[in-house]
Amino acid sequence: MMHLKGYVSSQKLQKAFHPMGVIHPTQISTSPYHMTLQPEITYQTHLGFGGAFTESAAYVWSKLSHTKQQLIIDLYFSKDGLRYNMGRTHINSCDFSLENYTYVQEGDVTLDSFDLSREDLWVVPMMREALKREPHLKLLASPWSPPGWMKTNNQMNFGGKLKPEYQHIWARYYVKYIMEMKKRGIPYWAISVQNEPAATQTWDSCIYSAEEERDFIKNALGPIVHAYDPQINILGWDHNRDIIVERAKPLLEDFECAKHLYGIANHWYVSEAFENVGKVKSLFPDTHLIFTEGCIEGGPKPGAWYTGERYARNIIGDFNNHVEAFIEWNLILNEQGGPNHVKNFCDAPILADPKTDEFVINSSYIAIGHFSKFIEPGAKRIHHTANLPKGLSGVTYQNPHGEIVVVLLNESHEKTQVDLEIEHQIYPIFMDEHSLVSLIFTK
């Protein structure tokens, strides 16, 4: 017989990860809603969870007391926290920077002036503290924009394109970034080609068509990065799900491009068409799918529960469509949802006020934790069949040491009973309205 322990968080309880009482198995189902687990059928291997070390996040973190700094690092990267083992940084500035900046002087095609000292101010110190908790951090670097002089619009903001004559220099720029970070004791696992290559933003942005991204990868970025280090993984697209299939196909159908690509990255803005991500996997079974950015737009939402539900719904939807990792956006922001050099304020799992040296934990932090605390790197997603009411969803994994993990989300206004069946035993799970449950089955 399996032994079951569970943890619940709910809007009603106002508690996080509250231990559930003993749940005894039965032989008879008493609910019309059920989920049957089939561990013998497996899917993708789980890589982990993480967040972004933006300049804004690192700047806010730096303004807190040493005690609060360490507590926040522990909340994310320690074994008692969210157990993050992944992270993302931006090459040059992004919207969540204090201003536009690059690492080279105007017009320096040699890149001899390359200088990463800007990141030494705030980002590198924060990353080093995270690496103390998780030495095997898988780090992804993404550019928002090349230096303005490399672009058709001669500025970092408002889109524009990479000028063809700068493709090889720009590719070398990624390598310089990776090399300089490595000198600082910060190794990189992956890069993406371009953050949101289909979006002309008022902030740092650069546009590629699918064909332009394909040609840049196969003619410049792939060969130059992999000549430096064949182990650096390259992710394409790094944008929303709505057109992920049509953007992924030209990259993965071209052998010379695809041989340099580890996988396709997605964000959650605009669309929750999770099935589109699954279609990429169906068309290209060998590619890896990584979620690389999502946040609550429009400024801070302290105390809101629906924000956490959005996180949980997106994790479940993507993971059930073969996504292997979830990397959130800013690790921490201030009480305004910044700083942000174009006032594109957002929410974050942790919001801090450096003036008072206080911070709040949002429901998004709790939602991520219902997955990241229990689904271990190396876990395999397992098959389940389900008959669930509207507003209730779930995902199922088996950890490397054999534990079965089930995470259920109830977004409805109704209390619900779901009967979980595993090894011919039925476990009745009672879920409050607007709640999250993590269940761990052991032998």
> Region 323-350: what's the mean pLDDT?
98
Which pLDDT score is estimated for 2?
87
Could you state, in order of their start, the residue ranges of all structural domains in the chain?
Answer: 3-45+380-442, 48-372
Q: Is the pLDDT of residue 377 over 80?
A: yes
């934990």: which residue's tokens? 361
Secondary structure of residue 442 in the 3-state scheme:
strand
Contact 284, 252 (CB under 8 A): yes
Nearest alpha-carbon partner for 165 in 177, 175, 150: 150
In the set 196, 328, 376, 403, the catalytic residue is 196
The pLDDT, as a whole number, for residue 104 is 98
- How much of the chain exceeds pLDDT 70, in percent? 100
Q: Residues 181, 222: contact at Cβ < 8 Å?
A: no
Q: In a 3-state reduction of DSSP, which class is residue 160?
A: coil
Q: How far apart, in whole angstroms, are the C-alpha atoms of residue 363 and residue 358?
A: 17
* DSSP single-letter state for residue 204: B
Under CATH, domain 3-45+380-442 is a member of which superfamily?
Answer: Golgi alpha-mannosidase II (2.60.40.1180)
Q: How many residues does the chain have?
A: 443
What distance in Å separates the CA atoms of residue 384 and residue 94, rounded to the nearest whole number?
Answer: 40
Using DSSP bridges, classify how beta strands 15-19 and 190-192 pair: parallel, antiparallel or unpaired: unpaired
Task: Give the model's pLDDT for residue 132.
Answer: 98
As a CATH number, domain 48-372 is 3.20.20.80
Which of 310, 314, 307, 273 lies closest to 291 in space, CA to CA? Answer: 314
Q: pLDDT tens, 413-427?
A: 999 999 999 999 999
In the predicted structure, residue 27 carries a pLDDT above the cut 90 = no
pLDDT over 90 at 384, yes or no: yes
Mean pLDDT for 223-241 is 98
Say which amino acid occupies 373. K
> Are 175 and 224 within 8 A, CB to CB?
yes
Determine whether 335 is an active site residue.
Answer: no
Spot the catalytic one: 55, 134, 293, 324. Answer: 293
Token pair recorded at residue 163: 């000028």
- Region 353-364: what's the mean pLDDT? 98
The pLDDT value recorded for residue 140 is: 99
H-helix or E-strand containing 334?
strand 332-334
Amino acid in position 275: E
Q: Any catalytic annotation for residue 293?
A: yes
pLDDT at 1 over 80: no
Statement: residue 255 has pLDDT above 80:
yes
pLDDT band of residue 393 (cuts 50, 70, 90) is very high
- Least confident range from 19-28, 68-77, 209-218, 321-330: namely 19-28
**SS3 state at 263:** strand
pLDDT at 39 (0 to 100) = 97
Residue-averaged pLDDT of the chain: 97
Q: Two tokens at 33? A: 């809603």
Task: Kindly provide the residue ranges of all beta strands, DSSP E only, lying in 67-199, ordered along the sequence.
Answer: 86-91, 138-143, 190-192
Residue of 68, 72, 147 whose CA lies nearest to 331: 72
**pLDDT at position 182:** 98
Q: Quick check: 52 and 88 in contact, CB under 8 A?
A: yes
Most distant CA pair in the chain: distance in Å? 73
Instruction: Give me 99's structure tokens.
Output: 């201003």
Per-residue pLDDT, 13: 82
